[in-house]
Amino acid sequence: MSEHPLPAHGAAGAPAAHAGRGLVAIFGATFCELVGVFMLSPLLLLRLTDAGMSTAVAGLFAATVWVGILCMAPMASALTQRIGRRPALWLSAAVPVLTGLGFALTDQPALWFVLYLLAGMAGGLRWVLAEAIVAEFSPSHLRGRNVGLFETMVGTTFVIGPAVLAWVGPQNAQAVWWAVGFLALGLLGSLTVPAMPAAHDEGDVHVGLRGVWHALVTHPMVMAIGFIGGFFESGLTAMLPLYGLALGLGATAAALLVSASGLGSALVMLPAGELADRMARHPQQRWGDAANSRRRLMRAGAGLTLAATLVIPFVAGTPWLAAPVAFVWGGAGGSLYTLVMIDIGSRETGNTLVNSTAVLVMSYTLGGVLAPALGAAALQWSPTVGFPALLLIVAGAGYALLRR
């Protein structure tokens, strides 16, 4: 199948009007798909527990989607090289619709595990391609703003999806069809994404695991920053209620720590992208060229993460500090992810861009998976010593790497 790519043109690789249509299409399609995804995820867990499934098995089911993401991310560039970037995007949008229909029409837990794994693999492919497409369609002077706006939009779907589910009613038999409807809108929107700039690296870039390994060796900081961002933005958010309870906070106050982290992420990513654009365009290049200005911002984000983590030993005596710390973790972690995605999109195109984006997605996911696992163990061992020590090790190592 051919996607009839455009010839390269201008800084963004495509004419301005064409690139603008591409950005509108990928924003709208991704928004609809993710609303459906975040409606479906809690709904499936609720239905499994209502059917008598143990909490442990339900947790294993929830983790299946992340396994799918980790399995697919390193293979994204090989698939896109074989069938083309637009057909790969269409595939990543079609599979969730089919798996959603499977959830709606069957109630076999074993089959649900398989479907959720497939949905996770499609989600991993979509994650890599959507990020890469936004970066590639964006003109260089607006790439920071567009990437920051895209990340902020993605963050809103974490709230909007469950809110729509609550409005429809999780016990409503039509709830699953609402989710499938949003997934179908995401597919329709994906079909409207226009042809992409020609990938000039088709003949000489490595793809698959070899390509991801090459991207990792060439730019190891992508892996490091992605891991830190995933650890502090996504991973710690999952266990903040446990941390709040360990501090002696009430259940409501502990749950609100998640909101504090999410608020930090939502409010900071777009300004971070805008600031990256403005610093790069400074007439006297006060902060160096575009790449150096982004590195300065990354170091600042890592420094804020470390500074907030240094406050942790004092939180036990003053629990009200937990919310500001969570806000900084969410904002700094989200900013680091946004800035490194801007950096990747500014230096790479085509399948090379897909490879580096896959490294970022894998490392972010790894950080998001390890943070609750390691954090829960450290929290159980010692909320006042073990937990702060773990966070200081990760934040300190990240800051030291960026300083170097």
Reported confidence tier of residue 202, pLDDT bands at 50, 70, 90: low
More reliable by pLDDT, 203 or 270: 270
Q: How many CB atoms lie within 10 A of CB 333?
A: 34
**What value does the mean pLDDT take over residues 183-196?**
91
What is the CA 123 to chain-centroid distance, rounded? 10
Q: Is the pLDDT of residue 165 over 70?
A: yes
The contacts of residue 337 (CB under 8 Å, 6+ apart) are 151, 225, 226, 229, 230, 233, 269, 360, 364
Q: Is the pLDDT of residue 370 over 50?
A: yes
pTM over 0.95: no
Reported confidence tier of residue 179, pLDDT bands at 50, 70, 90: very high
State residue 197's pLDDT score: 67
d(CA 104, CA 106) in angstroms, rounded, equals 6
- What share of the chain has pLDDT > 70, as a percent? 86
The contacts of residue 355 (CB under 8 Å, 6+ apart) are 77, 205, 206, 207, 211, 212, 214, 215
State residue 225's pLDDT score: 83
d(CA 40, CA 387) in angstroms, rounded, equals 32
Q: Is the pLDDT of residue 174 over 60?
A: yes
State residue 186's pLDDT score: 95
Q: Is the pLDDT of residue 15 over 70?
A: no
Mean pLDDT of the chain: 81
For residue 197, report the phi and psi dihedrals to the nearest 5 degrees.
-55, 150
Helix (H) or strand (E) holding 33: helix 16-50
What digits encode the pLDDT tens for the residues 32-69? Answer: 999 999 888 888 888 887 777 776 777 778 778 888 88
What domains are defined for the chain? 16-196 (1.20.1250.20), 212-403 (1.20.1250.20)
3-state SS, residue 6: strand
